[in-house]
A and B are shown apart, each in its own frame.
Chain A
Amino acid sequence: DGGITQSPKYLFRKEGQNVTLSCEQNLNHDAMYWYRQDPGQGLRLIYYSQIVNDFQKGDIAEGYSVSREKKESFPLTVTSAQKNPTAFYLCASSPRRAGQVNEQFFGPGTRLTVL
């Protein structure tokens, strides 16, 4: 899982509550990403950030929010507006070379279950 940590590993929340997932990296990578994975599916991009204090919506940003106040941290908040939040959430980072995405390094994931 490289130098990326995600916490907690398992998270249970009641419907209607906001919840924040943590992602920290010590790889000195500029770019960071949040993905959602549903059973038997590939990864879908929620948000990404190329640099501190900047982030962009991915393909399924509705109901989620992020911040990037520090290079090593990229927390994801799952809001009550997210209609189907139960999923496996993966954070990743990547060195940013010449403006292109190279290989991504993933954290171990957080499994969120909304009851």
Chain B
Amino acid sequence: SQQGEEDPQALSIQEGENATMNCSYKTSINNLQWYRQNSGRGLVHLILIRSNEREKHSGRLRVTLDTSKKSSSLLITASRAADTASYFCAVLNAGGTSYGKLTFGQGTILTVHP
């Protein structure tokens, strides 16, 4: 079954509000990454959190990781209309090998209304 499943599937908020997206996964991981995709475009890497980290910040982004619950959350503070996009989490499980693959979730569609 797929790892990195996001919740909610869609989120609609007003400009200035905070947006929170959650990601759950099933197995142990090396790191968890969040990506953003504007409609019809490629993905852009936002932030990476390693399995031994609990929280990470980057500008208006805050990511938390709870390995005991196998979950992560992405918080976007003071959202802007330009934040409208799909957001994906991706988990890396190297599985004891020298190379790991990223497994992506289905994404959360965020719409920020001006």
Is B40's CB under 8 angstroms from A101's CB? no
Is B101's CB under 8 angstroms from A99's CB? no
Please, which residues of chain A bring their CB within 8 A of the CB of B107?
Answer: 41-42
Is A90's CB under 8 angstroms from B104's CB? no
- Residue of chain B at shortest CB distance from A107: B42
Please report which residues of chain B, range 62-114, place their CB below 8 angstroms from some CB of chain A when the two chains form the complex.
88, 90, 92, 94, 98-107
CA A108 to CA B45, docked complex, whole Å: 13
Kindly count the residue-residue contacts between A and B in the assembled complex, taking CB atoms under 8 Å apart.
67
Is A45's CB under 8 angstroms from B101's CB? yes
Number of contact residues on B: which range applies? 20 to 34
Interface: B41 (CB within 8 A): yes
- Residue of chain B at shortest CB distance from A99: B98
Interface: A106 (CB within 8 A): yes
CA A88 to CA B44, docked complex, whole Å: 16
With A42-B107, A43-B88, A100-B92 known as contacts, the answer to whether A109 contacts B33 (CB < 8 A) is no
Is B101's CB under 8 angstroms from A48's CB? yes
Please, which residues of chain B bring their CB within 8 A of the CB of A88?
Answer: 40
Question: Can you pick out 12 interface pairs between chain A and chain B where the beta carbons lie within 8 Å of each other?
Answer: A40-B106, A42-B4, A43-B104, A92-B42, A99-B98, A100-B92, A101-B94, A101-B102, A103-B45, A103-B48, A107-B42, A109-B42
Give me the 8 closest cross-chain CB pairs, A-B, nearest first: A106-B42, A99-B98, A42-B104, A103-B45, A43-B104, A42-B106, A106-B43, A108-B42
Known contacts A43-B43, A100-B31, A103-B33; 17 further A-B pairs (Cβ under 8 A): A4-B42, A40-B106, A41-B107, A42-B104, A43-B90, A92-B42, A99-B94, A100-B30, A101-B92, A101-B102, A103-B45, A104-B43, A104-B45, A104-B102, A106-B35, A109-B41, A109-B42
